[in-house]
Amino acid sequence: MLMVKRFFKIIAVVIYYGVAVGSLTAASDTVNQPAPDPLNTTYRIEGDSVALVDGRHERPAASGSAIKVRTTVWQQPVYGDLDGDGNEDAALVLIHAPGGSGTFYYVAAAINADGQSQGTNTVLLGDRIVPKKLAIRDRTVVIDYADRRPDEPFSTTPSVDRSKVMGFQDGQLLTIPSPDESDQVTRGVVTIGHEVRSFQPCGSQMDLWLMGQSPALRAIMAAYNQAMPDPENYRPVFMVLAGKPVDPPTRGFGADYDGAFQATRLLRVAPEASCGIVSMVADSAESVRHKIDFDISALDNEGLLGPQGGKRSLSYEFCIPDRVENRVEVERIDPTVSFSPESPGRIGCASQEILCIGSAHQRDFNTVLQQLAELPYVQRIQQTFFE
């Protein structure tokens, strides 16, 4: 077993990120093109184009209105490579005041496209939150900020520390699901076979035994078997796991290992990737499958269920914290969603949550469901059965 493990040693760079970000600046990348100009770029905020000029944008809220919609930049942009082309991109926080009482904070990126700056979509952080630190790390944007508890009014000073991680893929800035506060998000390779159940973090020469009581072990093994039908080959498969190192067991095969890993979530599986080349975006269906309680594969290309001549739509429900920014984010992802504040639904929303109901009968329903499941405050999505 040790010979097999040594054979698959991979030396790369250790990549860890957590809820704390140590620096406002990113590590330097190989730059082949001039850095983009994020202060003079157009971004997309809730479907509207916002063209910054020297970091500012202003327009009337309506024709002839004295009320202004204003967008400004918080502090300074940060720089680093987001799309993996070796050129320096940028990330920034936009403060958007649409003319009412709310002041909404968004994260955006400016991608360096052959020396030209291309603004992305924006990711909502919240209304009247307090940004703290922004960084680009390992091709991801990391923002630390302070927010309020769900039951606190906007007059309360934000005091709850939060963190959000975003990656750039297919021209979009996408949120990467957040792990529990005690967890680490770790890239590495998983090898499973007879007497072998190991996880080797990128950049480490130590194989860690995957603990049997790990909540994510079943999902990890299913993903491995799907990617590698013949486990006797002992071939490593790249995965991104949330969890933490623990002491190895005292008995059994795991006792031969110097350490162990308690995996709480499988965030990504990418058989074609390796520690050296990978985008840290949780874009695999495996990364969110555990949140969706119905079989997506039973739906046809239009999101309909059943045999020919008897097709019917499938509705689903989930709970979110009852806050304006959460509703806005969910509506942006799922145009079919409706909110039912008076009902907990079959799923059983708590008193501080609101029931959301959507339909799979829509364009790109697979992508919609995946993006909903990637939201850290969505815990489960299940089929709705109307009385």
Same domain? For 47 and 112 the reply is: yes
Instruction: Please indicate whether residue 239 or residue 34 has the higher confidence score (pLDDT).
Output: 239
Q: pLDDT class for 232, splitting at 50, 70, 90?
A: low
Instruction: Please indicate whether residue 113 or residue 3 has the higher confidence score (pLDDT).
Output: 113
- Model confidence, pTM: 0.46
For residue 364 the two structure tokens come to: 């790109």
pLDDT at 281 over 50: no
39 closest CA partner among 84, 73, 66:
73
- Looking at residue 339, its pLDDT comes to 92
Instruction: Please indicate whether residue 300 or residue 387 has the higher confidence score (pLDDT).
Output: 300
Q: pLDDT class for 228, splitting at 50, 70, 90?
A: confident
Task: Give 64-116 pLDDT, tens digit per residue.
Answer: 888 899 999 999 999 998 887 888 999 999 999 988 778 999 999 999 988 88
Same domain? For 132 and 88 the reply is: yes
Same domain? For 319 and 202 the reply is: no
Same domain? For 43 and 167 the reply is: yes
- Looking at residue 288, its pLDDT comes to 55
State the sign of the Cα–Cα–Cα–Cα dihedral 155, 158, 162, 166: positive
Same domain? For 94 and 214 the reply is: no
> Domain ends where: 176, 200, 235?
176
Same domain? For 170 and 117 the reply is: yes
Task: Give 181-198 pLDDT, tens digit per residue.
Answer: 556 778 889 998 878 899
**What is the 8-class DSSP label of residue 55?**
T
3-state secondary structure of 39: helix
Q: pLDDT class for 4, splitting at 50, 70, 90?
A: very low
Q: pLDDT class for 177, splitting at 50, 70, 90?
A: low
- Looking at residue 306, its pLDDT comes to 82
- Looking at residue 277, its pLDDT comes to 46
Strand partners, 189: 200, 238
- Looking at residue 182, its pLDDT comes to 59
326 closest CA partner among 83, 157, 164:
164
The span from the CA of 178 to the CA of 117, in Å, is 29
- Computed over every residue of the chain, the mean pLDDT equals 80
Amino acid of residue 209: W
Same domain? For 170 and 189 the reply is: no
Same domain? For 48 and 150 the reply is: yes
- Looking at residue 260, its pLDDT comes to 94
Same domain? For 61 and 138 the reply is: yes
The span from the CA of 263 to the CA of 285, in Å, is 18
Instruction: Please indicate whether residue 16 or residue 257 has the higher confidence score (pLDDT).
Output: 257
**Looking at 45-49, 143-147, 297-301, which range is the least confident one?**
297-301
**Looking at 55-59, 66-70, 147-151, which range is the least confident one?**
147-151
Same domain? For 137 and 215 the reply is: no
Percent of the chain with pLDDT over 90: 30
Same domain? For 265 and 190 the reply is: yes
What's the CA dihedral at 276, 281, 287, 288 to 10 degrees? 180
The span from the CA of 374 to the CA of 177, in Å, is 5
Domain total in the chain: 3
Give me the mean pLDDT over the 29-50 stretch: 79
> Domain ends where: 133, 149, 176?
176
Question: 254: which residues sit within 8 A by CB, 6+ positions away?
Answer: 197, 209, 211, 212, 248, 260
Range of the domain at 193: 2-14+182-287
- Looking at residue 103, its pLDDT comes to 92
Same domain? For 143 and 281 the reply is: no
> Domain ends where: 256, 287, 318?
287
CATH of the domain at 319: 3.30.70
Q: From the CB of residue 98, how many other CB atoms can be counted at a distance below 10 Å?
A: 17
The span from the CA of 206 to the CA of 200, in Å, is 6
